[in-house]
Amino acid sequence: MAPKKNAAAAAPVAPPTTQIPTTTTIPSSTPVKIPSRSSSQNQSPQQVAIGIWQNYLDKTPQRTKLIDVFMSFLVVVGVLQFVYCILAGNYPFNAFLSGFSATVGQFVLTASLRIQTNEENKAEFNSVSPERAFADYVFGSLILHFFCVNFIN
Amino acid sequence: MVAKTQEPFFQGSTGKNSRGVLRIVILCLIAGAAIASRLFSVIRFESIIHEFDPWFNFRATKYLVSHGFYDFWDWFDDRTWHPLGRVTGGTLYPGLMVTSGVIYHALRALTIPVDIRNICVLLAPGFSGLTAFATYLFTNEMSTSPSAGLLAAIFMGIAPGYISRSVAGSYDNEAIAIFLLVFTFYLWIKAIKLGSAFWGALCALFYGYMVSAWGGYVFITNLIPLHVFVLVCMGRFSPRVYVSYCTWYALGTLASMQIPFVGFLPIRSSEHMSALGVFGLLQLVGFVEFVRSGVPSKQFATLLRGFVLAVFAISFGGLVLLTVSGVIAPWTGRFYSLWDTGYAKIHIPIIASVSEHQPTAWPAYFFDLNLLIWLFPAGVYLCFLKLADEQVFVVVYAILASYFSGVMVRLMLTLTPIVCVAAALALSNILDTYLTFKSPEEPTQATAADGSTNGATKKAAKQEELRSMRQPLVGIYAAFSKISVVTAMTTYLLIFVLHCTWVTSNAYSSPSVVLASRMPDGSQHIIDDYREAYQWLRQNTKEDAKIMSWWDYGYQIGGMADRPTLVDNNTWNNTHIATVGKAMSSREEVSYPIMRQHEVDYVLVVFGGLLGYSGDDINKFLWMVRIAEGIWPDEVKERDFFTERGEYRVDDGATQTMKDSLMYKMSYYNYNSLFPPGQAQDRVRGVKMPEVGPVLNTVEEAFTSENWIIRIYKVKDLDNVGRDHASAASFERGNKKKKTTKKRGPKVLRVE
C-alpha cells in the first residue's frame, strides 16, 4: 500500500503519472530534453518544483490536462475514502474495497490512457493509435465497474 | 523452414495461403492427436470418472446441472463432514463445474443431448486440444521461426507430464487450468509487447477465469510480478510495462475477489503481496521517471533513484512488519512447505501424507518429458541470447517452475508448458539452421573476398585472431552434415512420439476405481470390488446412513454410494480427520463412544491382503495414527504400534495395541476362515497371520466384497439390558461365568 499512497500524496505538486524520455527505451542513460526555463545546474528544490510546474503548464496539451484533472479528482476521492475507512472502521469491508479499488483502478486506467495518447511515447506504442487507446480505456473501465458493482453487493 | 524452400508452391501470395492452410491442417491434426492419445482408458474400460477428487467435482456438476446456478452458488452440503456439513459454494473453485455446465446446456440448445457424465469424462481431452493451440500462440510470440509454435503445440499435445493429469475421465481442476494458465501467459506476453490496455484487460479476465478454476493461480500472481520486477531491475522499465501490468493488476485482482473461496485473500495473504508490492513499485517508478524527464540536473536524478529505493525498502519493511503482527496472513502450510521442504513432515502430517507432495526423483523427469528435458536448457539458453521482454519471461518461468517441480511431484504439471516451449525454441532453431537448401556463399580464402564484405570486418580481422570473428557469417555448406543432423533430429522426434504413447498407454491410463490384471493366457481380468461395495451401500442401507471411512474414500462414497460421510478428501478440518483416525486406531471400547457420538452407522475399510492390493488401509494406518497423535498425544501413541525392535508387524509379533486397534480387527476379521487352519497369509505384507483371528464386539460384519477389498461393518446398537458390548458378546458366545464366583465384587453406591 505504501508506495501507491506515496505516489498519490505527491499528486498535487505535479500530475502523478509517468512520462518517459522521448528517445530511448532504456532509461539508464537518458538524454533528457532540457526544458527552456530551467537551465542552470544548481537550483533549490523550490525552483526545481516551480520549473517543472511551469514546464508542465506550457508543454501539456489541453486534453492531457483534462485527464490530469480527472486523475487528481480520483486521488482526492480515494484519499477521502481511505481516511473515512481509518476513522470509521472497515465494517462492510467489501464495500470499502470495491469503492477504493474503483478509484485506484480508474486512476491506473486513466494513467494508461494518458501514457498511450502522449505524443512523446509514440515510438513505444506504434500499434496503439489514440482512438484505439480510448476504446481500450472504455473496455477496461466497463469491466472494472462491472466487477466493482458486483463486489459491493 | 518452409519459407526458404525453392519450390514456387511456397512462394509469394499463393505460398502464404498454402502455408496458412498447412498450418491449420497441422494444428487440427495436433488437436486430434492430443485428444486421441487420452482416450486409452475410455476405450479399454469404460467412460467413468477415475480418481478420488474428480468424484466430488462430478457430484457438484450434477448438482449444478439439476438445480441451477444460484442454488449451486450457495449450496450447503449436509451429506459430507457429517455433523458439520460443508458450505460448498464458498469452499470450491467453481470454474470447472460451470464450464461443463455451460457445455452441457449449449449442447442441449443445439439439440444434441449428451449425458453430463460424458461431458465430464471428455472435458479434459477436449481442453488439451485447446492447450496445444494456446501453446502455439504463446510460442509464436517468442520466436519468429514458423516451426517453433507448431513444434511446441505438438509437444504440449502429447507430453506425458501433462497427459498424466488430463486423461479422459480425470475430471479434475487441472483439466482446464493448464489451458487457462498458458492462455493467460500468452495474453500477458501480448499485452507487454504491445503495451495495450485491451490485451491487459483480456489477460485479467482470463486470470479471473483461472482463479475460478484452480488454486494454482497463485503461481500466476507471483510469476507476472516477478517478471515485471526483473524487468525493472534490468532497467527496462517502459510505459508498456506500466500500462500492461497496472491494467492486469487492477482488473485481475478485482476479478479474483469475485470468487467466494478467494474473497479478501488477494489483499490479506502473503502469497499475493508480491503482486501488490510490484504494483506500488511501478507507480513509484512511473512517477519518478515522469519527474526526471523534466529535471535538468544529474544529481537530482540520482536522488530520485535513491528515493525509489528508500521507499521500496521502507514499504517492504512495513509489509514484513504487518505480516509479523498478523494483519496479513502468513504463508499457508501447503505453500510454505514449498520453501521449507521439511516443514510439512514435522508439523502437518496431513500434507505430507499425500503421495503427490513428495519430491521428484530424477527418472520422473525423463519419464514425463523424454527428449524435451534435454532440449529445455538449450531453449532457455537461446532465450538468453535474444533477451527481449518476452524472453525474460521464459527465463523467469523456467527457473521458478523447475525449482517447484523439484520440490513436489505434482508441480511437474506447471513445468511442462515451459519445457515444451523452450524445447520447441531450441529444436526449431536447429531445424531452421540445418533445413535450408540454399548454402551460404562460399567465402574465398583470398583477401579480395575479405575486402569486398566491408571495412569493419577487415578491421576486426586485423585485431582479432579468431577465425570466427573474421568471418561472422557461419554457415553449413555440406549437404551431408545437413542431412545427418536433420535425420537424427527426426529420429528423436519419432522416438519421442513412441515414448509418449507408450507412457500414456501403460502408466497413466488406468482408472483407480477398477483394478485390471492379466490372466496367464493374456485375457484381462477386472476386479471391480469398489463399485460392488458402493453399490451395496447405495441399495441396502438407509438413505441417511452415515459411513465412516478414512478420508481418501470420502468423495467416492459420496459420489458412488450417495451416502453421508464423516470426512472426505477436502481436508479442511484436521481435528475431524484426527477423530476418525483415533476411532480407527483405538480399542473398541474407546472407538465405540466416538462412533456413537458421530451417529456412525457403517464403517468401511479397504483391505488388500487377499489380493495383494498394496494401497489398503493397513498400509495407510500409520498416517491415521500420526494424525490422531497430533491432537491426542497421550491417548494415541505411534510408538505403541511398533514392536520392541521398531518393526511394524501385523502377524504374531504385532504389538497388543496393534492387535486391539479397530482397524486391525476389522481388516482381519474372519480372514482365517478363508484358508486351511494355520495357513492364513497376508499377501501385501507377505506374512503368515496368527492362528486365531480377532474378535469384534461392537460392530458386526455387514458386507465383504468379492475379493475382500472392501469390508463394511455395521455399528451395533446399545445393548438392550445395558451391558457393555464385550460382556454381552461373551455371554452370547456362551462363555459362562464360573459358578464358584460367590465372592461379591466391590460394591458401589447406587446414586439414583
pLDDT in tens, B14-31: 778 888 999 999 999 999
- Among B141, B241, B283, which would you mutate to test the A interface (most chain A Cβ atoms within 10 Å of its Cβ)? B283
How far are the Cα atoms of B453, B456, B459 from residue B469, in angstroms, in the given order?
Answer: 13, 11, 11
Indicate the residue type of B135: T
What pLDDT score was predicted for residue A18? 42
**Residues of chain A with C-beta less than 8 angstroms from the C-beta of B272:** none
Express each pLDDT in B544-572 by its tens digit: 999 999 998 999 999 999 999 999 888 88
**Residues of chain B with C-beta less than 8 angstroms from the C-beta of A33:** 293
Distance CA B341, CA B409 (A): 13
ipTM, two decimals: 0.83
How far are the Cα atoms of B443, B458, B465, B477, B488 from residue B451, in angstroms, in the given order?
Answer: 11, 7, 17, 22, 38
Cβ B194–A127 below 8 Å, yes or no? yes
CB B255 within 8 A of CB B207: yes
**pLDDT over threshold 50, residue B227:** yes
**pLDDT over threshold 90, residue B275:** yes
- Helices (DSSP H) in B258-388: which residue ranges? 265-268, 273-293, 298-325, 333-336, 343-347, 349-352, 362-369, 372-385
Long-range contacts of B523-531 (CB under 8 A, 24+ apart): B526/B45, B527/B611, B527/B706, B527/B707, B527/B709, B529/B705, B529/B706, B529/B707, B529/B708, B529/B709, B529/B710, B530/B556, B530/B560, B530/B705, B530/B709, B530/B710, B531/B560
If pLDDT is split at 50, 70 and 90, which confidence band does B474 have? low
**Residues of chain B with C-beta less than 8 angstroms from the C-beta of A51:** 294
Report the pLDDT averaged over residues B32-55: 91
Distance CA B203, CA B716 (A): 58
If pLDDT is split at 50, 70 and 90, which confidence band does B445 have? low
* HEC profile of B434-476: HCCCCCCCCCCCCHHHHHHHCHHHHHHHHHCCCHHHHCCCCCC
- Cβ of residue A57 closer than 8 Å to a chain B Cβ: no
Express each pLDDT in B658-711 by its tens digit: 999 999 999 999 898 888 887 888 888 888 888 888 888 899 999 999 989 999
Cell digits for B245? 501490468
Q: Least CA distance to A26: which residue of chain B?
A: B236
- Cβ of residue A75 closer than 8 Å to a chain B Cβ: no
If pLDDT is split at 50, 70 and 90, which confidence band does B476 have? low
If pLDDT is split at 50, 70 and 90, which confidence band does B351 have? confident
Cβ A109–B254 below 8 Å, yes or no? no
**pLDDT over threshold 70, residue B139:** yes
What pLDDT score was predicted for residue B749? 83
Supply the DSSP symbol for B89: G
- Cβ of residue A101 closer than 8 Å to a chain B Cβ: yes
CA distance B454 to chain A (A): 29
- Among A68, A100, A147, which would you mutate to test the B interface (most chain B Cβ atoms within 10 Å of its Cβ)? A147
Cβ A112–B292 below 8 Å, yes or no? no
Residue located via cell numbers 480399542: B587
Report the pLDDT averaged over residues B73-78: 91
If pLDDT is split at 50, 70 and 90, which confidence band does B448 have? very low
- Cβ of residue A147 closer than 8 Å to a chain B Cβ: yes
What pLDDT score was predicted for residue A34? 42
**Residues of chain A with C-beta less than 8 angstroms from the C-beta of B262:** none
Cβ A4–B283 below 8 Å, yes or no? yes
Cβ B247–A108 below 8 Å, yes or no? yes
**Residues of chain A with C-beta less than 8 angstroms from the C-beta of B235:** 26-28
**pLDDT over threshold 70, residue B381:** yes
What pLDDT score was predicted for residue B323? 81
Cβ A151–B254 below 8 Å, yes or no? yes
Cell digits for B658? 496393534
Between residues B322 and B486, the one the model is more confident about: B486
CA distance A72 to chain B (A): 14
* Beta-carbon pairs below 8 A across chains A and B: 182
CB B620 within 8 A of CB B648: no
Cβ B204–A19 below 8 Å, yes or no? no
- Cβ of residue A26 closer than 8 Å to a chain B Cβ: yes
How far are the Cα atoms of B657, B666, B706 from residue B661, in angstroms, in the given order?
Answer: 6, 9, 24
**Residues of chain B with C-beta less than 8 angstroms from the C-beta of A148:** 254
CB B727 within 8 A of CB B737: no
Q: Name the residue facing B280 among A3, A27, A150 (closest C-beta).
A: A3
What pLDDT score was predicted for residue B168? 92
- Cβ of residue A128 closer than 8 Å to a chain B Cβ: yes
Long-range contacts of B539-543 (CB under 8 A, 24+ apart): B540/B703, B541/B601, B541/B602, B542/B601
**Looking at domain B527-732, which CATH architecture does it have?**
3-Layer(aba) Sandwich (3.40)
Cβ B276–A1 below 8 Å, yes or no? yes
Cβ B290–A19 below 8 Å, yes or no? yes
**pLDDT over threshold 80, residue B314:** yes
Indicate the residue type of B196: S
Q: Least CA distance to A48: which residue of chain B?
A: B295
Coil/strand/helix, residue B50: coil
**pLDDT over threshold 50, residue B457:** no
Report the pLDDT averaged over residues B586-613: 91
Ranges of each domain in chain A = 61-152
Ranges of each domain in chain B = 175-329, 527-732
Share of chain B above pLDDT 70, in %: 91
**Residues of chain A with C-beta less than 8 angstroms from the C-beta of B90:** none
If pLDDT is split at 50, 70 and 90, which confidence band does B297 have? low
CA distance A64 to chain B (A): 14
Cβ B284–A116 below 8 Å, yes or no? no
Report the pLDDT averaged over residues B243-252: 94
Q: Least CA distance to A139: which residue of chain B?
A: B198
How far are the Cα atoms of B569, B581, B634 from residue B638, in angstroms, in the given order?
Answer: 23, 12, 10
Q: Least CA distance to A4: which residue of chain B?
A: B280
What pLDDT score was predicted for residue B18? 87
Report the pLDDT averaged over residues B401-412: 90
- Helices (DSSP H) in B474-528: which residue ranges? 479-506
- Whole-model pTM: value is 0.85
Between residues B555 and B357, the one the model is more confident about: B555
Q: Which residues pair with residue B525 across a beta bridge?
A: B517
Nearest to B557 by CA among B598, B601, B509, B588: B601
CA distance B325 to chain A (A): 16
Q: Which residues pair with residue B710 across a beta bridge?
A: B606
Q: Tell me how crowded residue A22 is: count the other CB atoms within 10 A of its CB.
A: 17
Cell digits for B317? 519493511
- Provide block-wise average pLDDT over 10 residues at a time, chain A (153 residues): 39 41 39 43 72 83 91 95 91 91 94 88 83 94 94 89
Cell digits for B201? 484487460
**pLDDT over threshold 80, residue B334:** no
Q: Name the residue facing B197 among A28, A39, A109 (closest C-beta).
A: A109
